[in-house]
Amino acid sequence: MNSIRENIEQIRARMDAAALAAGRDPKEIQLCAASKMNDAERVQEAVRGGVDCCGENRVQELTEKQPKGAYTGKPVHFIGHLQTNKVNKVVGAVDLIQSVDRPELLAAIDKEARKKGIVQDILLEVNIGAEASKSGYSPEGAMETAAHMADFPGVHLRGLMAIPPISQNPGDNRKYFAQMANLFVDIDRKKYDNVTMVCLSMGMSDDYEDAIAEGSTMVRIGTAIFGARHYNK
Ligand SMILES: *Cc1c(COP(=O)(O)O)cnc(C)c1O
């Protein structure tokens, strides 16, 4: 089995090749280690192995691993479903909350950040496949929310995140990635107050090359870095 460092090197090589094939600069695309179910030591191994940031799904994992220095040296992002009653544990503890998926959460993060006297960077999560099982804004809802970001001085909108449907065949998700890239550019062109569109977070272990081909600026990779997760442990 490859080490975490070797896995990261291989992913980087494939990311760079996908960027060049699409006529893009490989330096435009960041690698986020989706660290769920990996302990602080393994996450720190990924940090030292050269990922650009870490992404945690669960508040409990974040609060356990952060004091152990899991993310030391790189930014940490929150990428999972966030309950409004846990917002106080995440706001100010992470560099970016990627998974702002509904108006109540946006309002709660804004309120908590203002209470703490900080500005929390966020992405809006878009339910690009319009799946009933997933939370997230519709593309129209994301556009509408971006237009009103000036009403939320406790946050700053830095882009969009998406988790497309589980694909049956390779390449199935390219259309969703392309729709996300269009939305990203559309919002950017509006030059809304309190919005700086720099991050388009999409692409995971199985489809990150397609995401890069369509314009992703951040891929979130778990399995391909750390190996398979064992949910029954
Ligand atoms: C787990 C996870 C990933 C990474 O998934 P892999 O298929 O293991 O690469 C990316 N984004 C989010 C939000 C995740 O929860």
Number of domains in the chain: 1
The answer to whether residue 82 sits within a structural domain is yes
Nearest alpha carbon, ligand 1 atom 7: 205
204 Cβ below 6 A of ligand 1: yes
- The per-residue pLDDT for range 58-97, each reduced to its tens digit, is 999 999 999 999 999 999 999 999 999 999 999 999 999 9
CATH number at residue 26: 3.20.20.10
CA of 186 to the centre of ligand 1 (A): 26
Measured distance CA(76)–CA(113) in Å, rounded:
17
36 Cβ below 6 A of ligand 1: yes
Global confidence as pTM: 0.97
The answer to whether residue 77 sits within a structural domain is yes
The answer to whether residue 10 sits within a structural domain is yes
**55, 98 in Cβ contact below 8 A?**
yes
The answer to whether residue 175 sits within a structural domain is yes
203 Cβ below 6 A of ligand 1: no
34 Cβ below 6 A of ligand 1: yes
- The per-residue pLDDT for range 188-219, each reduced to its tens digit, is 999 999 999 999 999 999 999 999 999 999 99
- Phi/psi of residue 115, each to 5°? -60, -40
The answer to whether residue 33 sits within a structural domain is yes
The answer to whether residue 232 sits within a structural domain is no
Domain range spanning residue 164?
4-225
Structure tokens at 142: 């994301």
CA distances (Å), origin 146, targets 58, 66, 99, 124, 163: 26, 31, 15, 9, 19
Measured distance CA(34)–CA(54) in Å, rounded:
6
